[in-house]
Amino acid sequence: MKLSLASAMIDAALAEARTLNVTVCVTVVDAAAWPVAFARMDGAPLGVIDVSSKKAKTAVLFQMDSEAFGKIAHPDGVAYSLENTNGGLTSFGGGVLLKALDGSIAGAIGVSGATTEDDIAIARVAARILST
Amino acid sequence: MKLSLASAMIDAALAEARTLNVTVCVTVVDAAAWPVAFARMDGAPLGVIDVSSKKAKTAVLFQMDSEAFGKIAHPDGVAYSLENTNGGLTSFGGGVLLKALDGSIAGAIGVSGATTEDDIAIARVAARILST
Amino acid sequence: MKLSLASAMIDAALAEARTLNVTVCVTVVDAAAWPVAFARMDGAPLGVIDVSSKKAKTAVLFQMDSEAFGKIAHPDGVAYSLENTNGGLTSFGGGVLLKALDGSIAGAIGVSGATTEDDIAIARVAARILST
Amino acid sequence: MKLSLASAMIDAALAEARTLNVTVCVTVVDAAAWPVAFARMDGAPLGVIDVSSKKAKTAVLFQMDSEAFGKIAHPDGVAYSLENTNGGLTSFGGGVLLKALDGSIAGAIGVSGATTEDDIAIARVAARILST
């Protein structure tokens, strides 16, 4: 995951958040879960800094969006307590897996600070950068 | 738990995983929950490294398979929150307690990366090494 | 510390790093030590992600550059072991305290990945954004 | 870092340790510091499990052997306290950086349990697998 790409995704996420009139944190990690870029919008609650990071980490570590992860890592899911591994993961939406055009995993983006629905929408808008 | 035995169990687990066409991580711990051997198959999601370790730890710390542990350490179980002790434990299958021929606890094996059903099957195949 | 300002400082740091032909990580934190923005240049060693963060944290928590902090928080300094507080701090240069025009603390910037001399130079170039 | 390669390096390390009549732990990590394989010889002190892991991590995170890292991350070095980043690193020998034939970083191997001199020798014997 090159910084130029991560930065473009963060810019796209911030632009979408402004359009939706919400304030979020955005984290982009590489395929091995190491951070590449991060931004916190003015006014975002301090607690969501870590949430955006954990959403991105969750997606890339288990190769699925954090929303899908939440269906299995949940008291009613098939792998309850999976959310407590790897230093704590995120069982709700806003972490989106990023794949390169050849299908390989490129990393993940985590957005947090708005409603889960908006967090997901913002992450997906940013993720589209990868396929253009 | 001797390294020769742990290595033989890891080899058996890897062979079974290849037969089932899945990619997993395998951890063997001794009777005091300290790791003896570990292997990560090519292509296994990075998140399952820690899960295989926690499954083995869960089994040996509570002297039962992680599947049985999950029935009590669950919001609907008799000991909800037990899964949050000891740095985080695993409330689903894939951690199998290992007993020596005389019935004493020899350690545990944790397998993660496939379906829970397959993880359990792989761990059990490996555990059979102990009784041969 | 507004994101627009933090982003401008990161851009200035990255430009200076490219001029010096080095690869670094850059972290900007606010006056309460919470991260505002972060960037990792392509090819920077993974270990310096955390170092850039700890340099910024060190500067803002003790209201001095990490280079000055290193003179006191050192086996030969007056406050040896201070570097072990707050989750681990950094006793060498590259974390620069950021002050607003009125003298109040605005945050800090941490740069890591090059020589300490270059890390400091890059952080100072970026910090100049605040006084323009 | 493929498991077949990591396993071959671990086997080579164990053979060399037996030749030297010492007991060690050996950890192989990939280029992003994630563990690939681990083995603890019978009789190795429990404390060296973590040391072997931290040696490997140190080497790969800072792209140098842990022995070289110890020269800079030391009270008398240019980057005292660097050893306290990334969850704790290792400022003495036994972590050896692994490079592929094309010069790219392949991962690292960490050996601990014998004298530092022997730990280094064992790690180097194992690392030779990469160039054959």
CATH of the domain at A90: 3.30.450.150
Q: Quick check: A37 and C39 CB within 8 A?
A: yes
Contact B39 D36 (CB under 8 A): yes
Per-residue pLDDT of B53-78, as tens digits, reads 999 999 999 999 999 999 999 999 99
Which residue of A3, A46, A109 is the best one to mutate when testing the C interface, meaning the one whose CB has the most C CBs within 10 A?
A3
| Structure token digits, residue B89 | 């434990």
DSSP state letters, D13-44: HHHHHHHHT---EEEEEETTS-EEEEEE-TT-
Q: Flag whether residue D49 sits within 8 Å of chain B, measured between CB atoms.
A: yes
Q: pLDDT-based confidence at C132, cuts 50/70/90?
A: low
Confidence band, pLDDT 50/70/90 cuts, at residue C131? confident
Chain B contact set for A81 (CB, 8 A): 70, 73, 83, 88-92
pLDDT at A131: 78
Res. B132: pLDDT tops 90: no
Mean pLDDT of C45-50: 98
Any CB–CB contact under 8 A between D80 and chain A? no
Give me the pLDDT at residue B131, please. Answer: 78
Nearest to A1 by CA among C15, C43, C8: C43
Query: Quick one: what percent of chain C has pLDDT higher than 70?
Result: 99
Does A46 contact chain C (CB < 8 Å)?
yes
Interface touch C74/D80, C-beta < 8 Å: yes
Region C11-25 average pLDDT: 98
Position C52 pLDDT exceeds 70: yes
- Residue A109: Cβ within 10 Å count: 35
Q: What is the mean pLDDT of residues D96-118?
A: 96
Averaged confidence pLDDT in chain C:
97
Contact list, C54 vs chain D (CB under 8 Å): 85
Within 8 A by CB and 6+ apart from A96, the residues are: A59, A65, A66, A108, A109, A110, A111, A120, A123, A124, A126, A127
Q: What's the pLDDT score for residue C12?
A: 98
Domain count for chain B = 1
Task: Answer yes or no: do D34 and A34 touch at CB < 8 A.
Answer: no
C2 and A42: CB-CB below 8 Å?
Answer: yes
Integer Rg of chain C from CA: 13
| Three-state helix/strand/coil letters over chain B | CCHHHHHHHHHHHHHHHHHHCCCCEEEEEECCCCEEEEEECCCCCCHHHHHHHHHHHHHHHHCCCHHHHHHHCCCCCCCCCHHHCCCCCCCCCCEEEEECCCCCEEEEEEEECCCHHHHHHHHHHHHHHHHC
Domain that holds residue B27: 3-131
Give CA separation, C53 vs C2, C110, C124, in Å: 18, 6, 16
pLDDT surpasses 70 at A132:
no
Q: Which residue of C has its CA nearest to A49?
A: C35
Model confidence over D26-39: pLDDT tens digits? 999 999 999 999 99
> Could you report the per-residue pLDDT of A37-57, keeping only the tens digit for each?
999 999 999 999 999 999 999
pLDDT at C14 over 70: yes
* Contact of chains C and B by CB distance (3 or more pairs under 8 angstroms): no
Confidence grade of residue D132 (pLDDT, cut at 50, 70, 90): low
What's the gap in Å between the CA of D33 and the closest CA on chain C? 9
User: pLDDT per residue over B2-54, tens digit each?
Assistant: 999 999 999 999 999 999 999 999 999 999 999 999 999 999 999 999 999 99
